[in-house]
């Protein structure tokens, strides 16, 4: 595994996160959201195949042979846990790897309030966590599960593609199933959850209608469901979920969401002024009676206003945090304008 080790070590030293390996081309890697290349590392297809053989299980290779792609995660000696996505590029095997940090953040370190922590103590309901790919939602969900594991006696069932953070049982007991090795898809995983008596169910994706419907059914049966979704602020996430349905299905979905939704957490990573680091910002909606009414009655025009007024209750908005970071000179005005939801708030200051 010397080829894999050398590449991973080089990227780790540079502070990178994702590695892209295509046969007979320089290795590319991502650092703080930007792509860079390692011109001294060019692997042949035979070397790529060797990495795949050394890191994958027979089941993963069977899936690769059948579907021409597979995703899995494995421990790599002296590197740590790595997520592998293997696929064909112009008829040759290629792979994308993500170096998975196994550090669990505390919710306090992420700036989550006591109100957020109280929601995690609830016996049932739906929590949505969203961000663009690579901007931290898996890390945030891991922090949430770490908090539950430390404080509550729960049975936790996860459906992931693949399993990234591996949990050790503390007060809670974990079952972690990986797609496609342990279960075929998210919908089937959510259906299977009924059979293992869970208190908390986590789905690595809740973007499909059948998966969302099954998640809401689990909430109604008494589970706390934590679902990962795509990015946007909280209102954009809500609008996207509802508008993905046929018009005649939307009222029923709104009623269920108004009843079962407890919280939406969305996040972005924004470039820090004067460094190559990025700062996490959060958009948090806690489903108060006023917001329940807006969701149920499809009256979203006041959604962000109520969210902005709810900071005492633990809510946050991207724009208020961007304003605060500009005042602290942690980011510049141009960055704030780029990431703002209400860009008029920042126009004229860039």
At 225-246, the pLDDT tens digits run: 999 999 889 999 999 999 999 9
Smallest Cα–Cα separation from 143: which of 198, 58, 202?
202
The domain spanning residue 245 has which CATH number?
A: 3.40.50.300
Q: Could you tell me if residue 108 is inside a domain?
A: no
Both 144 and 196 in one domain: the answer is yes
Both 310 and 231 in one domain: the answer is yes
Spatial separation of the C-alpha atoms in residues 341 and 349, rounded to whole Å: 15
Q: Could you tell me if residue 224 is inside a domain?
A: yes
- Domain total for the chain? 2
Confidence bin at 49 (pLDDT 50/70/90): very high
The predicted-structure confidence for 182-237, as pLDDT tens digits, reads as follows 998 899 999 999 888 999 999 998 988 999 999 999 999 999 999 999 988 999 99
Q: Which tokens is 337 given?
A: 């304008």
Q: Say what percent of the chain tops pLDDT 70.
A: 99
Both 147 and 17 in one domain: the answer is no
SS3 293: helix
**Can you give the pTM of this predicted structure?**
0.90
Q: Could you tell me if residue 34 is inside a domain?
A: yes
Both 160 and 89 in one domain: the answer is no
Does 2 have pLDDT greater than 90? no
Does 134 have pLDDT greater than 90? no
Both 23 and 121 in one domain: the answer is no
Alpha-carbon distance values, 47 to 7, 29, 76, 257 (Å): 12, 18, 16, 49
Q: Could you tell me if residue 349 is inside a domain?
A: no
Both 70 and 143 in one domain: the answer is no
Q: Which domain holds residue 65?
A: 2-100
The domain spanning residue 9 has which CATH number?
A: 3.30.450.90
SS3 332: coil
Both 249 and 312 in one domain: the answer is yes
Q: Could you tell me if residue 207 is inside a domain?
A: yes
Both 165 and 294 in one domain: the answer is yes
Q: Could you tell me if residue 336 is inside a domain?
A: no
Instruction: Give the mean model confidence (pLDDT) for residues 146-161.
Output: 96
Both 171 and 252 in one domain: the answer is yes
Both 34 and 66 in one domain: the answer is yes
Spatial separation of the C-alpha atoms in residues 282 and 193, rounded to whole Å: 29
Instruction: Give the mean model confidence (pLDDT) for residues 274-288.
Output: 91
Q: Could you tell me if residue 333 is inside a domain?
A: no
Spatial separation of the C-alpha atoms in residues 336 and 277, rounded to whole Å: 15
The predicted structure's pLDDT at residue 350: 47
Both 89 and 225 in one domain: the answer is no
């Amino acid at each position: 595994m010397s080829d894999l080790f050398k590449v991973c070590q080089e990227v780790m030293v540079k502070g990178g996160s994702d590695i892209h390996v295509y046969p007979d081309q320089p290795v590319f890697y991502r650092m703080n959201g930007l792509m860079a290349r390692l011109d001294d590392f060019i692997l042949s297809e035979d070397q790529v195949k060797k990495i795949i053989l050394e890191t994958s299980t027979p089941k993963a290779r069977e899936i690769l042979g059948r579907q021409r792609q597979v995703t899995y995660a494995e421990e790599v000696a002296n590197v740590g846990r790595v997520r592998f996505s293997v696929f064909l590029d112009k008829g040759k095997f290629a792979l994308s790897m993500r170096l998975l940090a196994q550090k669990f953040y505390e919710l306090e370190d992420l700036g989550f309030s006591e109100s957020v922590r109280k929601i995690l103590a609830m016996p049932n309901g739906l929590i949505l966590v969203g961000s663009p790919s690579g901007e931290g939602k898996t890390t945030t969900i891991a922090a949430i599960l770490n908090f539950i594991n430390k404080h509550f006696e729960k049975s936790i069932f996860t459906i992931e593609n693949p399993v990234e953070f591996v949990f050790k049982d503390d007060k809670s007991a974990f079952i972690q199933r990986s797609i496609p090795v342990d279960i075929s898809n998210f919908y089937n995983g959510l259906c299977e959850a009924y059979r293992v008596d869970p208190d908390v169910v986590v789905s690595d994706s809740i973007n499909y209608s059948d998966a969302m419907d099954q998640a809401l059914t689990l909430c109604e049966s008494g589970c706390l469901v934590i679902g990962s979704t795509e990015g946007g602020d909280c209102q954009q996430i809500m609008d996207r979920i509802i508008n993905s349905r046929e018009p005649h299905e939307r009222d029923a979905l709104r009623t269920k969401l108004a009843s079962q939704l407890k919280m939406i957490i969305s996040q972005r990573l924004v470039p820090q002024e004067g460094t190559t680091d990025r700062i996490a910002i959060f958009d948090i909606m806690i489903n108060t009676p006023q917001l329940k009414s807006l969701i149920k009655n499809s009256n979203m025009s006041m959604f962000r206003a109520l969210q902005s007024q709810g900071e005492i209750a633990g809510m946050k908005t991207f724009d208020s945090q961007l304003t605060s970071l500009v005042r602290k000179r942690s980011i510049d005005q141009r960055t704030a304008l780029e990431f703002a939801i209400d860009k008029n708030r920042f126009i004229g200051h860039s």
